[in-house]
């Protein structure tokens, strides 16, 4: 390699270029890590919920697990940032500093090599000049010698010419000897410098370049290792993040989520009861057996617009009491069953419900919706929230009241702690007046006591509401159980009008009159005796009674029961002023008279 200075120059330049190329690769990898971490953080921020009130905080285990996964992913993004920072500091920064030092060192070594080569070239030129001068003087000496010999042999030449030629020969010979000595000296010097150049100076410079290139290779190896170590250092933390995600996935509990949904939407209402069997064929069979002509009640009747619905209550009809309005909703197209004397049942199809449905469509008179639809509408289209949560179903109302009581108790505890602290501070001020004025704490102490009294009143009020709700829920459960038993006992003994009789043959149910106007027969039949009361009830919840045939009532109002619930969720009741209508059975607390059947 002693004569490969230019090739070594190219190789060392290639080594520096490769180092800078790897540094550029690390820089781009750092940018990728930074962008990846930034995108992960933006993703977490996009799907993380904003701060919300406690009531709106996620409670489902699946939601909580997802938010825990987002937190772990945010930590994972932080570790990617750590990787980028470590690579930038330990790899990229170190490579750039070393590249600068390497360029400086290489430049210095190459300059030394070029200087040594220039010095050797200068020695060679000096030796070559002395050689050429010696050669020229030798040729001049030879010419002088030839001229002297020619004159010396010439007989015609004078002694002066010969002597002059001899002197010229001596002069050229002397100059040739001097140039010879000088050439010998320059040659010796050049040989020495050339030996020194190729055996000492150049090898030393090449060795330094070799050491520099080896250090560059070692630095690249260290950077490769540091590049991997930057990733390996965060692997334990990343593993913990992934373990956290797995634990979050395992924490999902489908049964708990289902229970939360049940607790959130549980209303506390009882489901509506069974619909009663409406036998429209009894009137036909009874008419045929009596040998009478059955004429529709709609014929021969006139409508007086002056009469009111209120006067229609308690009227006397041609074949008995006025039948009750149809309780909601009817299923005229359903399959009916009839009982035989031996207790067996067989299915029959009634044609009368079809006529009833067609008549209802013709008249266009709206029927009373079912209690389920009324309850749904009442709670879906409720007004603004009330202080006692009376607009909510019983179970939800109880939960809301309990939450409010817990919050008030926590606030009361804070006020109590603050009062105790103020009293202690006041005692300290009284014992050490220089620390403060005890009177300055009195306004704050008075305000705290006032807040405590206010909170106690609020707690007492909410506890009263809570006790009322819990008592109503328990009473409704007991009442529902007893009502089911009574319904089973008296199922076969009720007449269509709600009265009781010992003769089953006298129980006659008129055809449905939903399509007729309420005051259709007011002027034809008058009945001074209203239906007898079989019990009384107390309204547990208020009811609007917007639908026709229903009776509005206020919470706590006392009504008479004139007809029990037939299983459709409605009970017929009457006010003290004689106004009658249907009310939801689950909205009232019913008390039946013991001798109601004989009334």
Give me the residue spans of the domains in the chain: 4-261, 394-475, 535-592
Confidence (pLDDT) at 467: 86
Residue 292, pLDDT above cutoff 70 = no
179 contact partners, CB below 8 Å, separation of at least 6: 130, 133, 134, 136, 137, 138
Tell me if residue 470 falls in helix, strand or coil. helix
Is the full-model pTM beyond 0.85? no
Average pLDDT, the chain: 76
Confidence (pLDDT) at 422: 87
Confidence (pLDDT) at 406: 92
Give 339's strand partners. 345
As a whole number of Å, the end-to-end CA separation of the chain is: 133
Tell me how far apart the alpha carbons of residues 172 and 182 are, in angstroms, rounded to a whole number: 15
Quick: pLDDT tens for 87-116.
Answer: 999 999 999 999 999 999 999 999 999 999
230 contact partners, CB below 8 Å, separation of at least 6: 83, 86, 87, 90, 91
Mean pLDDT of the 500-514 span: 38
Confidence (pLDDT) at 305: 39
Nearest alpha carbon to residue 582 among 393, 390, 369: 369
Per the CB < 8 A criterion, the answer to whether 428 and 435 are in contact is: yes
Burial class (CB in 10 A: 0-12, 13-18, 19+), 104: exposed
Query: Residue 399: how many CB atoms within 10 A of its CB?
Result: 19
Query: Residue 403: how many CB atoms within 10 A of its CB?
Result: 14
Confidence (pLDDT) at 376: 39
260's enclosing H/E stretch is: helix 254-265
Mean pLDDT of the 376-391 span: 55
Give 500's strand partners. 494
| 21 pLDDT tier (thresholds 50, 70, 90) | very high
Quick: pLDDT tens for 532-550.
Answer: 888 899 999 898 888 888 8
Q: Which residue has the higher pLDDT, 71 or 593?
A: 71
Tell me how far apart the alpha carbons of residues 107 and 510 are, in angstroms, rounded to a whole number: 120
Query: Residue 330: how many CB atoms within 10 A of its CB?
Result: 21
Nearest alpha carbon to residue 337 among 277, 412, 410: 277
**Phi and psi torsions of 152, nearest 5°:** -70, -30
Region class of 322: left (phi > 0), else alpha (psi between -120 and 50), else beta: beta
Query: Residue 107: how many CB atoms within 10 A of its CB?
Result: 11
Query: Residue 311: how many CB atoms within 10 A of its CB?
Result: 16
Quick: pLDDT tens for 453-497.
Answer: 899 888 988 888 888 878 766 665 555 555 554 444 444 434 333
Mean pLDDT of the 266-272 span: 74
Residue 215, pLDDT above cutoff 90 = yes
Confidence (pLDDT) at 489: 40
Mean pLDDT of the 31-42 span: 96
Confidence (pLDDT) at 387: 77
Query: Residue 408: how many CB atoms within 10 A of its CB?
Result: 20
Confidence (pLDDT) at 428: 85
Tell me if residue 338 falls in helix, strand or coil. strand
Confidence (pLDDT) at 440: 85
Quick: pLDDT tens for 305-363.
Answer: 333 334 334 433 434 444 444 444 433 333 333 334 344 443 433 344 434 444 443 34
CATH for 4-261, among 3.90.550.10, 3.40.50.150, 1.20.1270.60, 2.60.40.10? 1.20.1270.60
Confidence (pLDDT) at 482: 54
Residue 296, pLDDT above cutoff 60 = no
494 contact partners, CB below 8 Å, separation of at least 6: 500, 507, 564, 566
Confidence (pLDDT) at 279: 78
Confidence (pLDDT) at 2: 55
Confidence (pLDDT) at 391: 74
Confidence (pLDDT) at 316: 39
Tokens 């060795």 map to which residue? 207
Q: Cα–Cα distances in Å, from 238 out to 225, 309, 542?
A: 20, 79, 60
Residue 366, pLDDT above cutoff 50 = no
Residue 157, pLDDT above cutoff 90 = no
Confidence (pLDDT) at 488: 43
Confidence (pLDDT) at 155: 77
Longest C-alpha distance within the chain, in Å? Answer: 203
- Specify the DSSP class assigned to residue 506: G
**Phi and psi torsions of 221, nearest 5°:** -60, -45
Q: Which residue has the higher pLDDT, 269 or 333?
A: 269
Per the CB < 8 A criterion, the answer to whether 354 and 280 are in contact is: no
Residue 364, pLDDT above cutoff 50 = no
Percent of the chain with pLDDT over 90: 34
Mean pLDDT of the 52-64 span: 71
Joined together, the tokens standing for residue 180 give 């010879």
418 contact partners, CB below 8 Å, separation of at least 6: 448
Residue 510, pLDDT above cutoff 70 = no
Query: Residue 450: how many CB atoms within 10 A of its CB?
Result: 11
Nearest alpha carbon to residue 368 among 545, 564, 553: 545
- Specify the DSSP class assigned to residue 494: B
Give strand ranges (E) for 453-493.
Answer: none
Give 414's strand partners. none
Quick: pLDDT tens for 108-150.
Answer: 999 999 999 899 999 999 999 999 999 998 998 898 888 888 8
CATH code that applies to domain 535-592:
2.30.30.40
Residue 597, pLDDT above cutoff 60 = no
């Amino acid at each position: 390699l002693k004569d490969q200075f230019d090739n070594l120059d190219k190789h060392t330049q290639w080594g520096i270029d490769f180092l800078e190329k790897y540094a550029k690769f690390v820089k781009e990898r750092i940018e990728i890590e930074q962008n990846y971490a930034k995108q992960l953080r933006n993703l977490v921020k996009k799907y993380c919920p904003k701060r919300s009130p406690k009531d709106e905080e996620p409670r489902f285990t699946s939601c909580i697990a997802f938010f825990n996964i987002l937190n772990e992913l945010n930590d994972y993004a932080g570790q990617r940032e750590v990787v980028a920072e470590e690579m930038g500091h330990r790899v990229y920064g170190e490579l750039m500093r070393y590249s600068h030092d390497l360029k400086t060192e290489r430049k210095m070594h190459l300059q030394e090599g070029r200087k040594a080569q220039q010095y050797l070239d200068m020695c060679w030129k000096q030796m070559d000049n002395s050689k050429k001068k010696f050669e020229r003087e030798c040729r001049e000496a030879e010419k002088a010698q030839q001229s002297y010999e020619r004159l010396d042999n010439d007989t015609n030449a004078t002694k002066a010419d010969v002597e002059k030629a001899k002197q010229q020969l001596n002069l050229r010979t002397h100059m040739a000897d001097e140039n010879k000595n000088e050439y010998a000296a320059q040659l010796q010097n050049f040989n020495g410098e050339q030996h020194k150049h190729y055996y000492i100076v150049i090898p030393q410079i090449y060795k330094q370049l070799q050491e520099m290139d080896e250090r560059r290779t070692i630095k690249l190896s260290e950077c490769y290792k540091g590049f991997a170590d930057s990733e390996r250092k965060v692997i334990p933390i990343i593993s913990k993040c992934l373990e956290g995600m797995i634990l979050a996935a395992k924490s999902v509990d489908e049964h708990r989520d289902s229970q939360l949904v049940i607790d959130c939407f549980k209303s506390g209402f009882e489901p509506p009861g069974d619909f009663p069997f409406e036998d429209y064929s009894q009137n036909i069979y009874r008419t045929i057996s009596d040998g009478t002509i059955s004429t529709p009640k709609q014929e021969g009747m006139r409508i007086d617009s002056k009469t009111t619905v209120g006067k229609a209550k308690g009227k006397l009809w041609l074949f008995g009491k006025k039948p009750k309005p149809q309780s909601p909703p009817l299923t005229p197209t359903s399959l009916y069953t009839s009982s035989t004397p031996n207790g067996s049942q067989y299915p029959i199809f009634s044609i009368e419900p079809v006529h009833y449905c067609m008549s209802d469509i013709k008249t266009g008179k709206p029927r009373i919706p079912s209690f389920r639809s009324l309850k749904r509408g009442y709670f879906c289209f409720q007004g603004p929230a009330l202080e006692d949560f009376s607009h909510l179903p019983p179970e939800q109302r109880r939960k809301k009241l309990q939450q409010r009581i817990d919050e008030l108790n926590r606030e009361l505890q804070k006020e109590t702690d603050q009062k105790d602290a103020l009293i202690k501070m006041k005692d300290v001020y009284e014992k050490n007046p220089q620390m403060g004025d005890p009177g300055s704490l009195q306004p704050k102490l008075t305000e705290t006591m006032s807040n405590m009294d206010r909170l106690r009143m609020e707690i007492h009020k909410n506890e009263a509401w809570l006790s009322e709700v819990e008592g109503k829920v328990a009473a409704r459960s007991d009442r529902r159980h007893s009502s089911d038993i009574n319904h089973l006992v008296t199922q076969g003994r009720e007449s269509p009008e709600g009265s009781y009789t010992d003769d089953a043959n006298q129980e006659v149910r008129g055809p449905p009159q939903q399509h007729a106007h309420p005051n259709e027969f007011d002027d034809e039949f008058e009945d001074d005796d209203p239906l007898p009361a079989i019990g009384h009830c107390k309204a547990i919840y208020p009811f609007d009674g917007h639908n026709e045939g229903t009776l509005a009532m206020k919470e706590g109002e006392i009504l008479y029961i004139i007809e029990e619930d037939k299983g459709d969720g409605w009970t017929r009741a009457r006010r003290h002023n004689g106004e009658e209508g249907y009310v939801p059975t689950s909205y009232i607390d019913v008390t039946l008279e013991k001798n109601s059947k004989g009334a």
